[in-house]
Structure 1
Amino acid sequence: MRASSDLANSYYAATAQAWETQASLASAEDCDIAVIGGGFSGLSAALACAEKGLSVILLEANSIGFGASGRNGGQLIPGLRWSMREIDVEFGRARAKAIFDLAYSAVGRVKSRIAEHHIPCDAKVGHLEAAYKAAHFDTMRRDAAYLAKHFSWEAEIVLPKDIGQHINGGGYHGGIYDAQGGHFHPLNYALGLAKAAQKAGVRIYENTAAQAPVDRGTHVEIRAGAGALTAKHVIMAADTWTGGIAPELSGYTVPIMNYNIATAPLPDADQLLPSDAAIADSRFVLNYFRLSADKRLIFGGGEKYVQQPPKDIAAFVRKHMVQVFPSLAQIPIDYAWGGAVGVTMNRLPHMGRTGNVFYAHGFSGHGALVTTLAGELMAEAVVGTMSRFDLFANLPHSRFPGGKWLSRPLATLGLLYYAMRDRL
């Protein structure tokens, strides 16, 4: 998420684990791998490269987890934005099976990183996709049955009469509960990855904005902050900032502004969400929410297609929260924050390689799990193991129409159309 402001009023920043801010780059340095971006993808890539014995420098323009990795809803949703039924129809069974094996392995990779490095990030199990309309529930049931039959991934079909086991509010028409999903404190996960990377030998520089890498064929040069880097390979993991560093990639994503609030601790929190699962509904402009470790409701709702934030973020999101939980109309909002999600045309992550530069961006609001995997895939690729990286890199992508000046307005019109359909 590109910051609309700093993280001063974020619940995550207020409850972040201790972290010593790292110095800015101020000299010329060499390394095997230069990583641009201190979010999940970049930190995961840096850690994985260091574990392979490579010398790694990570550059972060602001602070670790400053973007989407420290601002998102904390929802751990297995898979990609496309259902496996859609992927199977589009790509055929053999390729779909390979994509499934890779994409769904992200669940285990995040859990392994948390356990291996003892990352205190309030990780909890369980994710529910709630059906906003009865027709949505019918589609969910078909997708869940298809996933179980053809890919052996079991998720529980929650009938409308049983939805109260997970949520008391919203009038949802059933849903799909996935015990392999869950939720966590995203900024603390990012800081935990950063500490693990440092222990593995990664040199981290914060407040160090990178300029466009210059690929010389045998090496890559980067001007950054008051210093410079020479690296054998560059891993670009800047998400919504990618286009500013690599203009040739800018047309593949547009930024969509999202906002979150955290209430005061709720005495009846367990009545609202009895299973303590993370919830995301099935609307195009979805509501998503969960309980924090200290029983606050963290709620995300609504989108804006201009980068100027609402004058009152709390009021902007509250109206969506109250539609789901009317009893919270007067509850104090202790924190409100937001930023931008990088969205691709087809809502699948955009990964690839240009010479000695590898990149991953455009996770389209579905990246809390897949970003860790993407970083590890890029780490494999820089040492020449391309097969798993290529599964994602070969996904079809196209630029948003309209070029530099019209792509965002045209994308906005399309998004507004789908948002309107939510209300019909």
Structure 2
Amino acid sequence: MPSMTWYHDTANISKRHRLNDDLHCDVCVIGGGLTGISTALNCAERGMDVVLLESETIGFGASGRSGGQVVQGFAADISVIEQYVGKESGYTFFQMAREAVDDLKERTARHAPEADLRMGYLHLTLNNRQFKAMQSLCAAWHGWGYTGPKMITRSEVRDWLGSDRYFGGMIDPESGQIHPLRYLLGLAKGAEEAGAILFEDSAVRKVDGTIVQTDSGLVNAKYIVYCCNAYLGKLERKLYSKIMPVASFISVTEQLSASLAATIFPRDVAVADCNLALDYFRLTHDRRLLFGSGASYSTIVPPGLIGTMKRKIVRIFPEMANIRIDYQWGGLIGITINRIPDIGRLSNNTFYAQGFSGHGIVLTGFAGKIIAEAITANDKRLKLFEKIHHQTFPGGWLRTPALIAGMSWVKLREWLNI
């Protein structure tokens, strides 16, 4: 997959040095995406010496390729989380997710004001079954004290989006959109200003106890934090078996006229439908449609991808039939079986966070926060995540074909509207 995206073309990127030395530190973070940078930032702010190692460049992975959708909550419903932690702690998880959005707003204002954070999110349904499920979610949020979201009917959708495709939906005023790479680079600068040292082109080849080895140097750390997510590979097999890398794809169109942009987005909101293999889209700051859709559970780029994406866009917005796609890219996200993030520790000095299952823009920042809390002797919130049992993906070397088969059935059900 190409490394260049619309994000890379619209961000101020600076190159960082490769690790060419042997260093000692308090915390060694492996991975330079949002999880790793947030962990480095939070640890450095707490007075720890931090070294971060990124195999490519900061933001090379999902954090520099995502849809930029700032979404409340988890990919799994709170009722699923309650099965592991109980009803009272389930409410705590909801509050932590709300806190994570507040943290993102504060971090953006402090470190990345250029990241184009805009609030307003439209969850759209395609049938009555999805609409009723969304009504239940909205009612649950209201019951927990978050009364901002409201339901809209089919006849009201046009007030928010220039499309007749949808059955209805929910407006969430405190979710939204952001330029994820600008946000990440702002956090990276903040981490460095707090004292963290960030290295690029420094792939970790081996972790032996407290020694983290690269091709040209090593780091001896008191604490190690794995923040590799879908790009972990087999560096740590205990973690690798708990997540599945899934490829997601995004198209960005040419710049739209002001009149067309106003027609398809009468109100400036980010949008997603409610399918498991969902469509998600938004209007960028330079008036392009950024459109993401579906996923490849084989991680292979489907043939004719640009044509497929264009057809999906036109199905929603017929007036965009003659609009050109200027950018097309893919990247890997990490999913867990239960779609709840897997955050915990492998030992007293080894922590990790992975498997955000499409909700990484917000929850990665919170993961870095609670890991930093745990390292500094307040692991109460980390222990809540450790109560959640994460199964390994079954099938060994057949796990990817098995997932493809299962997801094909889910997609067929959604297509048949059952």
TM-score, normalised by the number of residues in structure 1: 0.94
How do residues 261-340 of structure 1 correspond to structure 2 at under 5 angstroms?
A: 261-267=251-257, 268-340=260-332
Q: Deviations over 1:98-153 (max 9, x none)?
A: 11111221100100101122431011011111001121011101111122113434
Alpha-carbon contact 1:85-1:146 (below 8 Å) kept: no
Q: Deviations over 1:143-167 (max 9, x none)?
A: 1112211343431111111011211
Taking only aligned residues, the RMSD between alpha carbons, in angstroms, comes to 1.5
Q: Gapped runs of 5+ residues in structure 2?
A: none
- Partner SS state of residue 138, structure 2: helix
Aligned to 2:343: 351
Aligned to 2:384: 391
Percent of pairs with identical residues:
35
Aligned equivalents of 1:124, 1:130: Cα separation in 2: 18
Question: Quick check: 175-184 or 160-169, which moved more?
Answer: 160-169
Aligned to 2:222: 232
What's the offset of the Cα at 1:259?
A: 0.6
Aligned equivalents of 1:422, 1:170: Cα separation in 2: 18
Alpha-carbon contact 1:136-1:282 (below 8 Å) kept: yes
What's the offset of the Cα at 1:91?
A: 4.1
Q: Deviations over 1:229-263 (max 9, x none)?
A: 10000111011122422112111111111110111
Aligned equivalents of 1:128, 1:84: Cα separation in 2: 20
Question: Quick check: 364-373 or 96-105, which moved more?
Answer: 96-105
What's the offset of the Cα at 1:302?
A: 2.6
Aligned equivalents of 2:8, 2:303: Cα separation in 1: 21
Aligned equivalents of 1:398, 1:118: Cα separation in 2: 37
How do residues 19-418 of structure 1 correspond to structure 2 at under 5 angstroms?
A: 19-88=13-82, 91-215=85-209, 220-267=210-257, 268-355=260-347, 356-403=349-396, 405-418=397-410
**CA 381–243 in structure 1, closer or farther in 2 if over 3 Å, else same:** farther
Alpha-carbon contact 1:24-1:225 (below 8 Å) kept: no
- Partner SS state of residue 115, structure 2: coil
Question: Quick check: 92-101 or 35-44, which moved more?
Answer: 92-101
**CA 163–89 in structure 1, closer or farther in 2 if over 3 Å, else same:** farther
* Aligned pairs, number: 413
Alpha-carbon contact 2:84-2:388 (below 8 Å) kept: no
What's the offset of the Cα at 1:26?
A: 0.9
- Partner SS state of residue 234, structure 2: helix
- Partner SS state of residue 157, structure 2: helix
Question: Quick check: 373-382 or 315-324, which moved more?
Answer: 315-324
What's the offset of the Cα at 1:202?
A: 0.8
Aligned equivalents of 2:213, 2:306: Cα separation in 1: 39
Alpha-carbon contact 2:112-2:183 (below 8 Å) kept: no
- Partner SS state of residue 322, structure 1: helix
Which residue type is aligned with residue 383 of structure 1? Answer: T
TM-score, normalised by the number of residues in structure 2: 0.96
- Partner SS state of residue 328, structure 2: strand
**CA 90–360 in structure 1, closer or farther in 2 if over 3 Å, else same:** closer
Aligned equivalents of 2:84, 2:18: Cα separation in 1: 46
Q: Deviations over 1:257-301 (max 9, x none)?
A: 111011111111121011111100011211000000011000011
2:9 pairs with one of 2, 11, 14: 14
Q: Deviations over 1:211-243 (max 9, x none)?
A: 23222xxxx101013100100001110111224
- Partner SS state of residue 174, structure 2: strand
Alpha-carbon contact 2:72-2:101 (below 8 Å) kept: yes
**CA 155–88 in structure 1, closer or farther in 2 if over 3 Å, else same:** farther
Which residue type is aligned with residue 350 of structure 2? Answer: V
Alpha-carbon contact 2:271-2:282 (below 8 Å) kept: yes
Which residue type is aligned with residue 14 of structure 2? Answer: E
Aligned equivalents of 1:214, 1:151: Cα separation in 2: 47
Which residue type is aligned with residue 213 of structure 2? Answer: R
Aligned equivalents of 2:206, 2:406: Cα separation in 1: 31
Aligned equivalents of 1:87, 1:151: Cα separation in 2: 19
Which residue type is aligned with residue 220 of structure 2? Answer: T
